[in-house]
Structure 1
């Protein structure tokens, strides 16, 4: 099966399930991706300009373009979308132009059922492409965020904790910052500490603009702002109790039922109320089982997280059992914060997934 044939097969499946095909423009506003994903994405995008000098990029993924299109066409009205086509992103040892397919469910309020449906369709779509052996890895940003909030960890430290988890360092990576390095620019760091990332970044960029600074050492104003944000986050440490509870949470793994019991035991022992997040987690597992999915074969890992503010709940990856590089062949999750970042009047529930067709069909 070719990648094009795979796209047609997946789209046919998704359309039968009510996910209408959409095809956002290949040229997209670059600033949207940079604002939401940080300056690091700039180094992986293919960037150009229009006649007026506005910065554009070749579509690096589908989720943000589909959400922008949804806001323009449907607003808060629930809709389901499927897609398939080229995306453009620099990847080490892989092609910078590759085909992706996927689906997005936007606006549904039955969150656990929608999560289970997306995973179920992802696995059904994968199986329709051939007898591939795979393993399913689950995570939950709702559990992690709920735990951090219940511990009373400040926003700046919360971002630092999540970055450490995503990087694979864990709580051990939260070493105390060097005092001398924090004295320099202490006033600016204090001014942005605790601010929302976008507001803090805009503040730093304004300061640099007022000072007439465009680039320093090859770094743009945006990149400099990102470094200040990281340094501001490093000013905040973790109390011993919070560190101990987080370390115990990050040790949790197993199938979803085992993980839920471990999280409930942790909450009881630590005197924390995680009822809302655990309830969604268990309801989702129930809907997965009701769809005929073998949840006992799925692997939950508390260390599995994503370092983007708009991921708010369920996340998953499907990996090819015969590949040893750990790269996902399907990945997705819940991103209830994204559409508000893109201009919606209020948060809009949303969940989706994407297929890396080159990896599925055997290309390196």
Structure 2
């Protein structure tokens, strides 16, 4: 076992082996680009970056999911396939050390998504219960795909849908966007020099104006967006800023984000919400309910878990289930979720369903030390 690992790490390694998930060997030095492109703003600003002698941007391994997936694709391994890992990750944290141990499992290619989701959550809970025994666990679930279905059902422009989906799990950002959808904000009025073009939708005139300004100031289009790109961006922003949600749709979005119920009631509550709001989210509901059934089939007690509609995790690659397990104060002991889009973004030739979870070993160690 690696130097500085928690005392229970060897036992945890054996527990991971028992899950029939072969250990992945992931180098500490990683190419930075995949993390910068796909991991989300919260992780991006915490990464320790460096550079190779050839100028390639590198980083210390900030997490395991992306490199495990990249290794799977590079080795062209058949699916379904499960991997486990246990080792150090390196990222800046507000609390705790910047070098700490994580362990976890990545489950790639399982066609029965509800079964795989239930297995990930169940295995994470069992491991926490094993290595932090006699603790009352708080198990919180969210679902990115249900949120996306609700947003799509409200009839918002695709640009606003992308904004809201990107902010899922960030309560402050979502509140700010909902406030903007409720009414205009004078502070975001366009610059007077371009306001006239935007007001009448004169894209050609705006592009010519921007090109003239760039020529007058000596601003090189080779080092920035072209006048056409800037025009398209401004026109799109103007359209989005002018969008307002009808009161009924705004109330439906607020009502959905306020849902917070025990998991054994979640299916019924979600169905009642969709019916009352008149939203067709049938496909997302079907998968949601299949996951509940799969968890019950594994013997999990849904009454001690909670579903919170607004709950997300600060990584951009999640697409469906998200969850965290904690034991009082001190942050999540485990977290994970589904990330079906990540594999193709990383270069897989065909879509590969994927779900996984991570354990924070330093937090588990702190909980174990409590009386």
Q: TM-score, normalised by structure 2?
A: 0.80
Aligned to 1:296: 303
- Of stretches 281-290 and 57-66 in structure 1, the one that deviates more from structure 2 is 281-290
Aligned to 1:92: 94
1:118-197 equivalences in 2 (<5 Å): 118-131=120-133, 132-163=135-166, 165-169=168-172, 170-171=174-175, 173-176=177-180, 178-179=185-186, 181-184=188-191
Asked if residue 264 in structure 1 is aligned to residue 275 in structure 2, the reply is no
Are the equivalent residues in 2 in contact too, given 1:316–1:333 (CA < 8 A)?
Answer: yes
Q: Which consecutive unaligned segments of at least 5 residues does structure 1 have?
A: 191-207, 215-227
Q: CA offset at residue 178 of structure 1? A: 3.7
SS in 1 for 2:333: strand
SS in 1 for 2:223: coil
- The separation in 1 between residues aligned to 2:357 and 2:220, in whole angstroms, is 39
Closer/same/farther in 2, CA of residues 139 and 159 from structure 1, 3 Å limit: same
SS in 1 for 2:121: helix
Are the equivalent residues in 2 in contact too, given 1:26–1:59 (CA < 8 A)?
Answer: yes
Aligned to 1:341: 345
SS in 1 for 2:85: strand
Q: CA offset at residue 211 of structure 1? A: 4.9
- The separation in 1 between residues aligned to 2:6 and 2:97, in whole angstroms, is 16
- The separation in 1 between residues aligned to 2:91 and 2:314, in whole angstroms, is 18
Are the equivalent residues in 1 in contact too, given 2:108–2:354 (CA < 8 A)?
Answer: yes
Asked if residue 29 in structure 1 is aligned to residue 31 in structure 2, the reply is yes
Counterpart of 2:291 (choices 280, 284, 288) is 284
Are the equivalent residues in 1 in contact too, given 2:40–2:316 (CA < 8 A)?
Answer: no
Q: CA offset at residue 234 of structure 1? A: 5.2
- The separation in 1 between residues aligned to 2:293 and 2:348, in whole angstroms, is 31
Counterpart of 2:85 (choices 83, 94, 103) is 83
Counterpart of 2:17 (choices 12, 15, 18) is 15
Closer/same/farther in 2, CA of residues 236 and 72 from structure 1, 3 Å limit: farther
Aligned to 2:255: 248
- The separation in 2 between residues aligned to 1:20 and 1:102, in whole angstroms, is 11
Q: CA offset at residue 180 of structure 1? A: 6.0
- The separation in 1 between residues aligned to 2:61 and 2:146, in whole angstroms, is 31
Aligned to 2:229: none
Asked if residue 350 in structure 1 is aligned to residue 354 in structure 2, the reply is yes
Closer/same/farther in 2, CA of residues 153 and 53 from structure 1, 3 Å limit: same
- The separation in 2 between residues aligned to 1:97 and 1:236, in whole angstroms, is 45
Aligned to 1:70: 72
Q: CA offset at residue 151 of structure 1? A: 2.1
Q: CA offset at residue 18 of structure 1? A: 1.4
Closer/same/farther in 2, CA of residues 247 and 76 from structure 1, 3 Å limit: farther
Are the equivalent residues in 2 in contact too, given 1:3–1:361 (CA < 8 A)?
Answer: no
Are the equivalent residues in 1 in contact too, given 2:141–2:322 (CA < 8 A)?
Answer: yes
1:296-323, CA deviations, whole angstroms, 9 ceiling, x for partnerless residues?
10011111024555311111000112x2
Aligned to 1:110: 112
Q: CA offset at residue 41 of structure 1? A: 3.6
Closer/same/farther in 2, CA of residues 45 and 209 from structure 1, 3 Å limit: farther
Aligned to 1:199: none
Counterpart of 1:48 (choices 40, 47, 50) is 50
- The separation in 1 between residues aligned to 2:236 and 2:16, in whole angstroms, is 41
- Of stretches 270-279 and 329-338 in structure 1, the one that deviates more from structure 2 is 270-279
SS in 2 for 1:280: helix
Q: CA offset at residue 242 of structure 1? A: 2.4
Q: CA offset at residue 30 of structure 1? A: 0.8
Q: Which consecutive unaligned segments of at least 5 residues does structure 2 have?
A: 202-218, 226-234
- Of stretches 86-95 and 234-243 in structure 1, the one that deviates more from structure 2 is 234-243
Closer/same/farther in 2, CA of residues 42 and 117 from structure 1, 3 Å limit: closer
- The separation in 2 between residues aligned to 1:95 and 1:288, in whole angstroms, is 35
- The separation in 1 between residues aligned to 2:162 and 2:86, in whole angstroms, is 33
Higher Cα radius of gyration: 2
Q: CA offset at residue 149 of structure 1? A: 1.6
Are the equivalent residues in 1 in contact too, given 2:157–2:240 (CA < 8 A)?
Answer: no
